[in-house]
């Protein structure tokens, strides 16, 4: 499966963000907890240099708990402040206030020494499309105030949302585009639904997903669909089609229909909590051990 990307609006968005970032103290970067690295645009590290940095592992309700905790440690090791959030339900969102205070401790202390008291911290939310920026801002600000639509920089004057006496939030999130020279990154973004459907072949995508799940979360598909899982992904998909009564002319199993069901179930967390990429810690590479943990977690 091959992905193409259109970097058309990227330059403009990046320029806008470089302007906005001058105004802020802390960058709150949302990533998708299922693919914390593939949903992270590395350019932000350069753009947000010298700013306090927070990573929100959003949609953690859809990711493996154990792996999300591992990713939290991984980012913390790299110097980020980290929080787990489910912006949709609001779980973990309140905690972000505390994390902002921790991340800006030095700035607050510096201000205090200069006699500047009670100046609110200015924050900005950034992330790739569909990662949950608007949902998070709405939940964090407690009212429907986030602009929707991917139009960075439509407002000339900056609008700030006063969250409390300590924090002001730039009302327009910064939109980054995912980078994927690496096809695996493209595949992971496609799994979670962050790539336009029109450019995807659903059956191929579903077969790749089934292969991944069989390799790392063996038994999960068998459980969900009450079928035999096979080494051959097409056989598994056919089993799902039969079980679900997906038929085409001549009573043959409708593979395309079953493929859409599997991908849709996966994206909505109905197959189970799945993390699609695993952190590798510098000292010890524990991929095999990690796989064992995932198996246990899903049994």
- If binding is defined by CB under 6 A, does position 127 make contact with ligand G4P? yes
Smallest distance from the beta carbon of 165 to ligand G4P, in angstroms?
27
38 is in an annotated binding site: no
6 is in an annotated binding site: no
Between CA 135 and CA 99 the distance in angstroms is 19
Is the Cβ of residue 130 or residue 230 nearer to ligand G4P in the bound state?
Answer: 130
- If binding is defined by CB under 6 A, does position 131 make contact with ligand G4P? yes
Between CA 46 and CA 110 the distance in angstroms is 24
186 is in an annotated binding site: no
194 is in an annotated binding site: no
Smallest distance from the beta carbon of 127 to ligand G4P, in angstroms?
6
Between CA 246 and CA 250 the distance in angstroms is 12
164 is in an annotated binding site: no
Smallest distance from the beta carbon of 118 to ligand G4P, in angstroms?
31
124: which strand partners? 27
Is the Cβ of residue 7 or residue 245 nearer to ligand G4P in the bound state?
Answer: 7
Q: What share of the chain is helix, strand, coil (3-state, %, to 5)?
A: 45, 15, 40
84: which strand partners? 57
DSSP label of 238: H
Q: How many residues bind ligand G4P (CB under 6 A)?
A: 15
Contact by Cβ (8 Å): 46, 21: no
Query: Footprint of ligand G4P on residues 237-256 (CB under 6 A)?
Result: none
State how far the alpha carbon of 42 is from the alpha carbons of 50, 209, 254, in Å.
Answer: 15, 25, 40
Contact by Cβ (8 Å): 210, 221: yes
Query: Binder to ligand G4P among 36, 132, 272, 279 (CB under 6 A)?
Result: 132
Between CA 105 and CA 54 the distance in angstroms is 13
Smallest distance from the beta carbon of 186 to ligand G4P, in angstroms?
18
131 is in an annotated binding site: yes
Helices (H), 78-130: 95-103, 105-113
Query: Footprint of ligand G4P on residues 52-111 (CB under 6 A)?
Result: 58-59, 61-62, 86-88
Is the Cβ of residue 173 or residue 279 nearer to ligand G4P in the bound state?
Answer: 173
174 is in an annotated binding site: yes
293 is in an annotated binding site: no
Is the Cβ of residue 128 or residue 255 nearer to ligand G4P in the bound state?
Answer: 128
Between CA 60 and CA 57 the distance in angstroms is 6
Is the Cβ of residue 64 or residue 87 nearer to ligand G4P in the bound state?
Answer: 87
Smallest distance from the beta carbon of 31 to ligand G4P, in angstroms?
11
CA 140 to mean position of chain CA atoms: 17
Matching residue, tokens 């401790």 = 105
Residue ranges in contact with ligand G4P by CB under 6 A: 58-59, 61-62, 86-88, 127, 129-135
Binding-site residue numbers for GTP are 58-61, 86-87, 130-135, 174
């Amino acid at each position: 499966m091959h992905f193409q990307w259109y970097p058309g609006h990227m330059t403009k968005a990046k320029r806008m963000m470089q302007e906005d970032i001058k105004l802020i103290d802390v960058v709150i970067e949302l990533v998708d907890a299922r693919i914390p690295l593939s949903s992270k645009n590395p350019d932000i590290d350069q753009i947000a240099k010298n700013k306090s940095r927070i990573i929100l592992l959003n949609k953690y309700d859809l990711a493996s708990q154990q792996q999300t905790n591992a990713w939290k440690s991984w980012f913390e090791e790299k110097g980020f402040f980290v929080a787990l959030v489910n912006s949709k339900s609001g779980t973990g969102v309140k905690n972000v206030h505390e994390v902002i205070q921790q991340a800006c401790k030095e700035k607050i202390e510096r201000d205090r020494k200069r006699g500047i008291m009670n100046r609110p911290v200015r924050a900005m939310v950034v992330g790739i499309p569909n990662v949950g920026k608007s949902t998070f801002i709405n939940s964090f600000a407690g009212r429907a105030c986030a602009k929707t639509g991917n139009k960075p920089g439509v407002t000339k004057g900056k609008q700030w949302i006063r969250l409390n006496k300590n924090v002001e939030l730039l009302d327009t999130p910064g939109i980054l585009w995912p980078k994927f020279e690496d096809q695996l990154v493209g595949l992971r973004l496609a799994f979670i639904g962050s790539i336009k459907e029109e450019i995807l072949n659903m059956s191929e995508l579903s077969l790749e997903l089934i292969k991944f799940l069989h390799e790392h979360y063996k038994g999960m598909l068998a459980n969900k669909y009450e079928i035999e899982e096979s080494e051959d992904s097409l056989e598994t998909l056919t089993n799902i089609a039969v079980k679900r009564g997906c038929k085409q002319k001549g009573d043959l199993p409708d593979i395309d229909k079953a493929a859409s069901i599997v991908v849709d179930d996966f994206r909505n967390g109905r197959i189970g909590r799945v993390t699609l990429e695993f952190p590798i810690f510098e000292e010890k590479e524990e991929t095999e051990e990690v796989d064992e943990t995932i198996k246990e977690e899903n049994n």
